[in-house]
Structure 1
Amino acid sequence: MSEQAVEKKLKQLDLEENKAEEVKEAGAVANPKEGDADGEKKKKKKKEVKGISTFYPEKIYPEGEWQDYTGSEENLKRSTDEEKRYNDLKENNKWNDFRKAAEIHRRVRKYARKHIQPGMTMIEVCETIENAVRTFCETKQSLKAGMGFPCGVSLNNCAAHYTPNGGDKTVLDYNDVMKCDFGVHVNGCIVDCAFTHTFNPRYDPFLEAVKEATNAGISACGIDVRLTDIGEAVEEVMESHEVELDGITHAVKCIRNLNGHNILPYRIHGGISIPIVKNGDNTKLEEGQTIAIETFGSTGKGYVDYTGGEVSHYMKNANPPPRAAIRLSRAKHLLRTIDRNFGTIPFCRRYLDRLGEDKYLLALRQLVKVGLVTEHPPLFDAKGSYSAQFEHTILLHSTRKEVVSRGDDY
């Protein structure tokens, strides 16, 4: 779906919401007859959708869900500590960037749920989401604001890292379980948030199990909390569930080799992995960190690996080898394109196509080979199984934690 088509649909959606408000206020509104002058006067003028600032002209964006810290006596006192509150306010510009990215994410996922339907190609699904993000961000400077990483739409037993490459003919089916994982960044502040989208209601108990496990991980996280304790909280809730599909009862398992993570400026994975099973890691979370609580449930073996399929996700290495030798001039050109448009933000092959790059696969492989770029192939659980995912971004303020990506949907 083109950017023009996305913008047209956004305008249409906005108009429908306006009409709904008119009905609510007036009690009932009769449809005016064709050519009726009074009816024409009652028609409301279409409101242009120009981006997120249309809704927030003062550029102050809504806060997420606040939760108090628990645990130690010091943590219990944090919410009333005036010095900590003052120090936190000094970071307001950064928090506002996260909140802007989160508000864009909420609006885009609402739009996506309304418009994504079975029969669409996976490329159309991704472009529906990605072009909506670009429309709301109001800039063509991708390093200023835009996609925090490619839109992942992994299906069924593919748990992560699938987005279609150009020419992919895969079509979304009514019975598919699609993990919709996309990020939005503003000035490098990345909001990483995911949900699982299905059309067949038979999967609802499965999705609810994973959602509950995600919320358990969010409740457990906080300053000075050990990583293994977060994993234990997720595992306990996730694996208390069973689901029945096609007359077979499946135990819901955590996918133990997929994790949450911390987030750094322009880096979606900051080096800390947050487990979703108890793993004995006694590393503690710290004040000021941004983390993603990301949980995956499976009806399969609860373990993923790369079993085939084209690689689509790539990312420039934030800590590249000091003397990486690039032989191909085409590879040098491609690296400049990556630096200029993505930096260390993940990208996919469709994004290179969109920039007009062509015949770049050999050059891309060389950048991977010398360690300047890392590739992230699609990851699969057992054939015939299903996986589901939910994820939120949490800001560990000095006083309380803010689930910045929380919405009224999940």
Structure 2
Amino acid sequence: MSEKPSSSSVSSEEDDNVLKPEVLEKYKAAARISQDALTRVVQACIVGKSVVELADIGDRTIEEMTSAIYNVEKDEEPIEKGVAFPTCISINECVGNYSPEAEDTRKIAEGDVVKIDLGCHIDGYTACASHTVIVSSSPVTDARADATEAAWVAADAVAKSLVPGTKTIAISAIIKKIAAAYGVFPVDGVLSHCMKRFVIDGNKTIPNLLSASNIPMDPNAEVELDDVFCIDVVMSTKEPKTNKRGQIIPEVEGEPIPPPAAPKELGDKFRPTVYKRNVEEQFMLRLKTSRQLMSEIQKKHATFPFSIRSLRTKLPRIGIKEMIEHNMLSTYPPMFLKPGTFVAQVKLTCIVTEKGVQVLCGGAASASILSAAHHSEKAITDPEILSILQKPLTVGSAPSAKKNKKKNKKKKSAEKSQEEDKKKKEDNSKAESK
């Protein structure tokens, strides 16, 4: 992979983000893979399964499926594709970004609330999805179900609120109302981003909770036609502590963890494991390990976030440390709330079209993997929210009908040609026998 994104299909940054048919199809292809990977991890999420195994299923599925599509001839420029966000398995009070290291021994236990988060890209066009699983052999209707259902309903409502001309900052109020109805709390510091080609964290955002520390870069930003949003909704069963600025104070056993990384005495499980290359930052690294690591990142993860588990360079943390010192890497630190808190997440990718919002993966597209056994006993009664939830959505990322018609036409033409060839052979055979 090159440091600067490239493609044979588009020639300028402006053209990159116009939803032409070929661009839309790449988004849909990435979404189908993300949804398939998410479904496989959800199905494997059972008591006794290791977090490393689950993360490997997600990443491996994405790598295998992307390797089978959009391949080019040897003399053509290859299309970049693969993992856009490494599979994270965040359990219970862990809010997110927990992509386990290879040596992680943690396993799924009865009663765990497991958040699965991943993403795929084709030629820089990204589709991300997340789903929350309550691992329980018996039905759950307690606060865990409240948070999970609230996240699901809020993500659905946010998607249905993406009407061109709507200010993104106004949508946050919908999340807060739904959280209140279920008796749970939106987690601060979480943002839904409008995505662009090779950019998963665009500047147009929707705060999960509007607070002093979580104000969008552009508070006047509006939803526009052809916007591609990654909707990320995160709910907590307990209200997180905040400081005077309204920022969440992460806790472990009652002790605050100073961001971005936890003190060493709290254990390695709190170390960041997800990073992203800051392509605009350049520096001649001093250590050989750092230079080897830099070379690997340039080839495999030049643009998108990656997990330390995916690296093959020996002692990668030595190189990571030097790269962070020179601002060459961004860190995605895992954040934990107080033990006994349960956090639920729903993430979906959707497109704002002339006919309405189309959910490509996650959210409503994950309805088939939603557990009917676990449900909240609370419900939405607010007329405004109910009216939003009644709006229609287009769900799924199947190829367009027009494309299918062309495929069917080609198939019928090929079958007809085969029949004609078969008939000719039979006639020739009869003629020869005479």
Any conservation in 2 of the 1:257–1:304 contact (CA below 8 Å)? no
Q: Which residue pairs with 1:206 in the alignment?
A: 147
Any conservation in 1 of the 2:150–2:182 contact (CA below 8 Å)? yes
2:201 to 260, 265, 269: 269
Unmatched segments (≥5 aa) in structure 1: 1-87, 243-251
Any conservation in 2 of the 1:324–1:371 contact (CA below 8 Å)? no
Q: Distance in 2 between matches of 1:276 and 1:296?
A: 7
2:305 to 346, 371, 390: 346
Please report how far the alpha carbon of residue 341 of structure 1 lies from its aligned counterpart in structure 2 after TM superposition: 0.6
Q: Which residue pairs with 2:286 in the alignment?
A: 327
Letter in 1 for 2:59: E
Deviates more, 1:343-352 or 1:125-134: 125-134
1:297 to 222, 226, 235: 235
Q: Distance in 1 between matches of 2:42 and 2:120?
A: 17
> Is residue 125 from structure 1 mapped to residue 54 from structure 2 by the alignment?
yes
CA offsets 1:185-243 (integer angstroms, 9 cap, x no match) = 1111110111101122323333111111111111112322212211011111122113x
1:217 to 158, 161, 170: 158
Please report how far the alpha carbon of residue 282 of structure 1 lies from its aligned counterpart in structure 2 after TM superposition: 2.9
CA offsets 1:302-325 (integer angstroms, 9 cap, x no match) = 4464833121010001443xx634
Question: How do residues 235-314 of structure 1 correspond to structure 2 at under 5 angstroms?
Answer: 235-242=176-183, 252-278=184-210, 281-302=219-240, 303=248, 305=250, 307=257, 308=262, 309-314=270-275
Q: 1:304 to 1:104 in 2, by over 3 A?
A: farther
2:181 match: secondary structure: coil
Q: Distance in 1 between matches of 2:300 and 2:310?
A: 10
Q: Distance in 2 between matches of 1:158 and 1:240?
A: 23
Q: 1:271 to 1:305 in 2, by over 3 A?
A: farther
Please report how far the alpha carbon of residue 90 of structure 1 lies from its aligned counterpart in structure 2 after TM superposition: 6.6
Unmatched segments (≥5 aa) in structure 2: 1-16, 72-77, 241-247, 252-256, 263-269, 371-434
Q: Which residue pairs with 1:229 in the alignment?
A: 170
1:168 to 104, 115, 121: 104
In the comparison of the two structures, how many residue pairs are matched? 309
Please report how far the alpha carbon of residue 289 of structure 1 lies from its aligned counterpart in structure 2 after TM superposition: 2.5
Please report how far the alpha carbon of residue 342 of structure 1 lies from its aligned counterpart in structure 2 after TM superposition: 1.1
CA offsets 1:39-81 (integer angstroms, 9 cap, x no match) = xxxxxxxxxxxxxxxxxxxxxxxxxxxxxxxxxxxxxxxxxxx
Question: How do residues 31-46 of structure 1 correspond to structure 2 at under 5 angstroms?
Answer: none
Q: Distance in 1 between matches of 2:39 and 2:322?
A: 39
1:91 to 10, 20, 25: 20
Q: Distance in 2 between matches of 1:398 and 1:349?
A: 41
Q: 1:104 to 1:304 in 2, by over 3 A?
A: farther
CA offsets 1:114-170 (integer angstroms, 9 cap, x no match) = 223110111011112221222222359997222111111111111111111121111
Q: 1:115 to 1:90 in 2, by over 3 A?
A: closer
Q: Distance in 2 between matches of 1:229 and 1:182?
A: 27
CA offsets 1:288-311 (integer angstroms, 9 cap, x no match) = 332111111001224464833121
Letter in 2 for 1:135: E
2:100 match: secondary structure: coil
Q: Distance in 1 between matches of 2:204 and 2:292?
A: 32
Q: Distance in 1 between matches of 2:94 and 2:224?
A: 33
Q: Distance in 2 between matches of 1:240 and 1:213?
A: 11
Q: Distance in 1 between matches of 2:105 and 2:318?
A: 23
Any conservation in 1 of the 2:292–2:313 contact (CA below 8 Å)? no
Any conservation in 2 of the 1:301–1:382 contact (CA below 8 Å)? no
State the structure with more CA Rg: 2
Any conservation in 2 of the 1:263–1:270 contact (CA below 8 Å)? yes
Q: Distance in 2 between matches of 1:402 and 1:346?
A: 25
